[in-house]
Amino acid sequence: MCETLASPLNYGGIILKNRVVFAPTTLGLPGDEQIQRLRDIASGGCAMIIVGDVPVLPHGFGMSLYSKKGFSWYRTLADVVHAQGCKLRAQLHQSDSNMKAMIKYIPAVLAGHISQEQMRGLLNQQVGTYVTGMPERKVQKITDAFGAAAKLALQAGFDMVQVHGDRMCGSFSSELFNKRADCYGGSAENRALFAVQAVSSIRKCLPDVPIDFKLAVRQGSPHYGNAGVLEEELPVFVPLLESAGVTSFHVTLANHGQLEDTIPSANHPEFSAEGCFLKFCDQVKKLTKLPVCGVGGLTDPQFAEEQIQAGRIDCIAMSRQLIADPMWPRKVFQGREKEIYRCIRCNKQCLGGLLAHKGVHCIYERKKIL
């Protein structure tokens, strides 16, 4: 039954009914279909759903908290998820894609000459120049916006917020991208300032709201991830973020490399094992007493139970497994583990579907219909 996994958790001030969370995921689905997908996941018994990439500024891709349509969509989603006894977390982020640099590629993308993955690589090449050359007043405008967006998120029905420690936040954190010579660049303390100000902005606007931080860790040897915090810099970043107001950490591998690294398949050369990113949680756990959420190829209930019992993590976040079988938590807690559709980490219809502009799906979907 996995009693620890099924037990409640005080996650930085909010009570989760169990230790299973749906990780922030770009689903690439139409609005109504995405709400239905998240409803299914909520009804399967997980404690909280994290909605990825909620923009902190009025412009940007996807639904906006600042538009009537976007706010209404988030409100509907919150009502649907809450009706299933599940909580909702908004992952607040700011893109580090240089939109002006993107314009010249649009004709090739529309003509099919440049794939989404190729476009991603081209945009990644612009990140360093973009964050290094950004005027300080614009940086401060963005970090201030985290507070305003957090207020709107709670008004829309979200229960708590998460600061996305990747994207622009992660690029400012990384010495590979951030070559600034002002207070935002140079030392690890300076490169942490963007993230610290984003968290502080939320804390100033909402003194009591739980603030989760997606801590994107960059591995040095062998090299994986380009944005985010180098493992050796965690002793600098973690205390600063905690002092700024963070109440929990969601720990994973940093982005801006290959998508197959942050969403590793079962044959990945470095991250093929169950719980492949939990080694980063081990490092964070040494630096804080705040709750830590682990992620990375988690599919096995007994393995997850053992990691929580051992104190490596306080809860688990899953994406592909809950897409493969939204009923995973309910089946586990009812002793029906043999009925689970176990994710085999093939990346065929989930990551593959997203890259093919068909949305995130799973190889099991047709079997369930049949």
**167 is annotated as an active-site residue:** yes
Task: Answer whether 90's CB lies under 8 Å from 162's CB.
Answer: yes
- Would you say 161 and 89 are in contact if contact means Cβ atoms under 8 Å apart? yes
Q: Reduce the DSSP state of residue 250 to 3 states and report it.
A: strand
Of residues 186, 193, 100, 91, the one with CA closest to residue 143: 193
User: Measured between alpha carbons, how far is 340 from 324 in angstroms, rounded to an integer?
Assistant: 9
The two three-digit tokens of residue 355, written as one number: 């890259």
* DSSP 8-class letter at 268: -
Residue 355 phi, psi dihedral angles, 5° rounding: -65, -25
Distance of alpha carbon 159 from alpha carbon 179, whole angstroms: 36
Among 19, 37, 89, 167, which one carries the catalytic annotation?
Answer: 167
In angstroms, rounded to a whole number, what is the distance separating the alpha carbons of residues 137 and 153? 24
Looking up tokens 């380009």 gives 226
- At 11, the amino acid letter reads Y
SS3 178: coil
* Cα–Cα dist 206/29, whole Å: 32
What's the full length of the chain, in residues?
Answer: 370
Residues marked as catalytic? 167
